[in-house]
Amino acid sequence: MPLLRETGEAVADAWTILPDDRPVPAGGAVVVSLKRWREERETLAGRDAPLGVLLPSGALASDVAPDLQRLGLIALDFPKFRDGRGFTVARELRERFGYTGEIRATGHVIADQFPLLVRCGVSTVQVPDTAKLDQWQAALGTLTIAYQKAVAGEELPLSLRRFKVA
């Protein structure tokens, strides 16, 4: 699946999502399930290679908060495009827990959600193989006015613009 950065640039994916029934390789950047992370935390944390965790829909940012310094990637699963819980988790990871690593949206996301994911702190989005990348990249320019402040600290949201002193 193609991978887009928050800028719309297509990038190579250095991470491998590892099924629970496969052994963890000694090297290489791997993403394990939250269940596996919980069961094998000490062993996985001792690896001398990048490690990420895939949070299923319904998991909370606090589920991985104590271990964020060990994790280079948090992947958020969106089972349906209308399941917005991942937006909240991304924002909470950035704002409440100060996570600075990569946050990736995976699963069923649509191009219309791309700018909203970026506003919530998502760094990369895994897009479907059948996606037209130019449509995804164009979507970044469609959100010109927002009601809430962005994690990235862009311009003031509409609700605060009237208080801005010129």
Complete domains list, the chain, with CATH: 3-161 (3.20.20.70)
**pLDDT tens-digit readout, 41-60:** 999 988 889 999 999 999 99
| pTM, full prediction | 0.85
Query: What sign does the dihedral 128-134-139-140 (CA atoms) show?
Result: positive
Supply angle C-alpha 140, 141, 146, rounded to 5.
Answer: 90
pLDDT at 163: 63
Q: Is the pLDDT of residue 147 over 70?
A: no
Q: What would the pLDDT profile of 91-139 be if each residue is shown by its tens digit?
A: 999 999 999 999 999 999 999 999 989 989 999 999 988 888 888 888 8
Amino acid (one-letter) located at 87: F
